[in-house]
Amino acid sequence: MNIVLKPIGVIHSPFKDLDGMPIQPAGASGVKGSVEVFEEYRTGLKDLDGFSHIVLLYLFHRSQGFSLHVVPYLDTQMRGVFATRAPRRPNAIGLSVVQLDMIKDGMLQIQNVDILDGTPLLDIKPYVPEFDTQVKVRTGWLENVKATVKHRKSDDRFK
Amino acid sequence: MNIVLKPIGVIHSPFKDLDGMPIQPAGASGVKGSVEVFEEYRTGLKDLDGFSHIVLLYLFHRSQGFSLHVVPYLDTQMRGVFATRAPRRPNAIGLSVVQLDMIKDGMLQIQNVDILDGTPLLDIKPYVPEFDTQVKVRTGWLENVKATVKHRKSDDRFK
């Protein structure tokens, strides 16, 4: 069974290369970018401007193939890829919650961008804490290192 | 540009049909289900059991085509599809944050399941509040109705 998707737009950001890019929106505070939605999909943006944050789903287009075990940016040990947010996944879909500042002519101005310039956009969803937020959580191997996400940058390990 | 994905597993739940299904995990509190990860991907589950919650990305496989304007389950007005979580999207990818209870032999026991039985699984990511949670948000048209998600069920509008 093959599932065929088509990009609905493209994400623009200051990051032309993986080297030195923030690895999560929490490490990209204030970094501005934009989302260009292709013309045929723009009417679907109606009402989105009421939301301060959006979920972007996109293709990790620079990632080739996949690895089931990876050493994530925040660690020095091999982890199962599904226990990480690493890009080299069987289905290379990325997820970022970003701040939405403005929409005009099919262009979304966004902040907290941890995404490569030129990334194909797959979907936009409104971020709704009542749907998406969990409290009282355990975060496994990330428990002691997740705070470092604010400073850690990516490198060339997933090229 | 076509993007080709392959299911990495299948989601099992008590919901055989859209009619009467919870429309978000928040409306499916305590509903148990399971995620079967296909054998060739199971080694990628290493370390995932340290996480209490996971993000599931999956295909809305019962949704045919897409609509750029939809009347969402929680509303009576037409909204842009990207301002909703409705299934009939250009790329029909669903996202649910569910509770992970146990992993054994490639089967994940989960709770708070708002997903149809037999749904093709695309990706599993660890849920990490430091990456995924936003505070001080605006939620547009959902502001006054989002609490009703706990009780509202789906119907046949997106079949």
Q: What is the pLDDT of residues A41-99, one digit of tens each?
A: 999 999 999 999 999 999 999 988 999 999 988 888 999 999 999 999 999 999 999 99
What is the interface size between A and B, counted as CB pairs within 8 Å?
A: 248
Which residue does chain A place closest to B148, by CA atoms? A130
The identity of residue B105, as a single letter, is D
Q: A12, A35 in Cβ contact below 8 A?
A: yes
Q: B97, B51 in Cβ contact below 8 A?
A: no
Chain B closest-CA separation from residue A56 CA (Å): 10
CA distance A127 to A50: 11
Q: Where are the beta strands (DSSP E) in A42-88?
A: 53-59, 69-70, 79-80
Closest Cβ–Cβ partner in A8, A45, A79 for B91? A8
Residues in chain A within 8 Å Cβ distance of B25: 131
CA distance A89 to A18: 16
Residues in chain A within 8 Å Cβ distance of B97: 131-134
CA distance A71 to B157: 44
Q: B155, B32 in Cβ contact below 8 A?
A: no
pLDDT at residue B151 tops 90:
no
CA distance A103 to A136: 34
Q: How confident is the model at residue A152 (pLDDT cuts 50, 70, 90)?
A: confident
B145 CB within 8 Å of a chain A CB: no
What is the enclosing helix (H) or strand (E) of A129? helix A129-132
Reading the block at residue A25, the tokens are: 């929106």
Residues in chain A within 8 Å Cβ distance of B132: 97, 132-133
pLDDT at residue A149 tops 90:
no
Which residue does chain B place closest to A97, by CA atoms? B132
Closest Cβ–Cβ partner in B52, B82, B146 for A128? B146
CA distance A154 to B83: 31
Closest Cβ–Cβ partner in B48, B79, B139 for A46? B79
CA distance A42 to A37: 6
CA distance A33 to A36: 10
Percent above pLDDT 70 for chain B: 100
Cα–Cα nearest to A142, from B126, B98, B124, B43 = B126
Q: A151, A19 in Cβ contact below 8 A?
A: no
| Cβ <8 Å between B126 and A120 | no
Residues 107-136 of B with CB under 8 A from A: 120, 122-136
Reading the block at residue A45, the tokens are: 């943006």
Beta-bridged to residue A126, according to DSSP, are A54
Residues 45-104 of A with CB under 8 A from B: 45-53, 55, 57, 59, 68-69, 78-85, 89-91, 93, 95, 97, 99
| Cβ <8 Å between B123 and A89 | yes
Query: Among all chains, which residue has been given the structure tokens 């209870």?
Result: B101
ipTM above 0.90, yes or no: yes
pTM of the model: 0.94
pLDDT at A116: 95
Q: B85, B73 in Cβ contact below 8 A?
A: no
Q: What are phi and psi for residue A27, nearest 5 degrees?
A: -100, 5
The identity of residue A136, as a single letter, is K
Q: How far is CA B7 from the centre of its chain?
A: 15
| Cβ <8 Å between A139 and B51 | yes
pLDDT at B51: 96
